[in-house]
Structure 1
Amino acid sequence: MAVPKKRTSKSKSRSRKANWKNKTTISSQKAISLAKSLLTGKPNSFIYLRNSDYNNNSNPEVDVKN
């Protein structure tokens, strides 16, 4: 089993934790933004078919999961 040779400094471990938290914050903000755009009915970065569009569409290659 691998064992670290020296103890990691507090500043290094705190900066790694801060980077990890910033990544989660950014991804959560993107998810909230996407959800808001879907609720308003004007999505710009996400393409999807509604059920009525799917029933009228004759393209069998489009897969929509409900």
Structure 2
Amino acid sequence: MAVPKKRTSIAKKRIRKNIWKMEGYWIALKAFSLAKSLSTGNSKSFFVQQEQERNK
């Protein structure tokens, strides 16, 4: 027979939720940093092929 589980305290729920939110924050921060380095051309981990303008 199934037995209901005990309720998780509000403090534990809040801690877990904040950890989950912070993971997303750090991933977004890294993505923004990588995009910034790519746009300025200072990236050392990615090689972006630059298009050359042709004068006609």
If the TM-score is normalised by the length of the shorter chain, which range does it land in?
0.7 to 0.9
Identity of aligned residues (%): 48
Coordinate RMSD, CA, aligned: 2.1
Deviations 1:21-65 (A, max 9, x none): 110000000000000000001102x3234166xxxxxxxxxxxxx
Unaligned ranges ≥5, structure 1:
53-66
- TM-score normalised according to structure 2 size: 0.75
Aligned residues: 50
Structure index of larger Rg: 2
> Which residue in 1 is equivalent to 2:12?
12
Secondary structure of 1:43's aligned partner: coil
Given the alignment of the two structures, is residue 47 of structure 1 paired with residue 46 of structure 2, yes or no? yes
Unaligned ranges ≥5, structure 2:
52-56
- Misfit runs of 4+, over 4 Å: none
